[in-house]
């Protein structure tokens, strides 16, 4: 199969959790190419399973990305383009995110709201802005973004989750 007829996925947050499992499943087919992002060096213990997969599967490529760092986002398209035989991205899946707030919603500090918003909502969108020209190189152009931010509403008799309204899936 020629590299232009393969489907190329770009998965951010690909080193663990849902993202890593998507990388593992999608790269099990040689019809797919998977570009997976990780924060920090691939040799860090948290990135080891992704690094190990990249060593045994030639269709897995690892790039570094921190979606809260402007410089990292600015560099991402250039990093992806260095990949051998790169022809464009078909599908961008944003699986990076944090969920580190266990405050009552009425007591959640502004800094915590902003950190979750910057990471879970803005980060993938700002990354999309940079990789959009690479999606235009292929015909498919799909973007999936699944995130949630948990904050407890704890009123006297009832507790529930607030899910951040950032679930999107659209064709570009």
Ligand X SMILES: NC(=O)c1ccc[n+]([C@@H]2O[C@H](COP(=O)([O-])OP(=O)(O)OC[C@H]3O[C@@H](n4cnc5c(N)ncnc54)[C@H](OP(=O)(O)O)[C@@H]3O)[C@@H](O)[C@H]2O)c1
Closest to 126 measured CA to CA, from 70, 62, 42: 70
Shortest Å, Cβ 76 to ligand X = 10
State which H helix or E strand residue 60 sits in. Answer: strand 60-64
Position among 8, 11, 13, 80 found at the interface with ligand X (CB under 6 A): 13
Which residues, 6+ apart, have CB-to-CB distance to 40 below 8 Å?
46, 47, 64, 66
What region does 116 belong to: left with phi over 0, alpha with psi -120 to 50, or beta? alpha
Assess 49 for contact with ligand X (CB under 6 A): no
Segment 61-90, which members bind ligand X (CB under 6 A)?
Answer: 65-68
Nearer to ligand X, 7 or 49 (CB): 49
Assess 99 for contact with ligand X (CB under 6 A): yes
Shortest Å, Cβ 38 to ligand X = 6
Size of the site for ligand X (CB under 6 A): 23
Nearer to ligand X, 6 or 39 (CB): 39
Nearer to ligand X, 40 or 133 (CB): 40
Shortest Å, Cβ 42 to ligand X = 11
Which two three-digit tokens encode residue 71?
A: 């410089």
Which two three-digit tokens encode residue 102?
A: 């266990």
Closest to 95 measured CA to CA, from 143, 150, 28, 164: 143
Segment 102-161, which members bind ligand X (CB under 6 A)?
Answer: 119-120, 123, 146-148
Helix (H) and strand (E) counts for the chain?
Answer: 5, 8
Q: Which positions lie near ligand X, rule CB under 6 A?
A: 13, 15-19, 39, 46, 65-68, 95-99, 119-120, 123, 146-148
């Amino acid at each position: 199969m020629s590299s232009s007829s393969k489907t190329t996925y770009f998965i951010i947050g690909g080193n663990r959790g849902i993202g890593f499992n998507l990388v593992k499943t999608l790269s099990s087919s040689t019809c797919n190419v998977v570009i997976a992002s990780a924060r920090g060096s691939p040799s860090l213990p948290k990135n080891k399973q992704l690094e190990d997969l990249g060593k045994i599967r030639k269709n897995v490529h690892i790039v570094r990305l921190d979606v809260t760092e402007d410089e990292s986002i600015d560099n991402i398209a250039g990093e992806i383009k260095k990949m051998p035989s790169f022809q464009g991205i078909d599908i961008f899946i944003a699986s990076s995110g944090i969920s580190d707030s266990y405050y009552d919603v009425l007591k959640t500090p502004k800094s915590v709201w902003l950190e979750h918003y910057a990471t879970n909502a803005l980060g993938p969108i700002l990354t999309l802005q940079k990789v959009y020209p690479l999606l235009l190189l292929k015909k498919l152009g799909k973007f999936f973004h699944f995130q949630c931010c948990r904050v407890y509403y704890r009123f006297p008799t009832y507790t529930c989750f607030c899910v951040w309204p950032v679930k999107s899936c659209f064709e570009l």
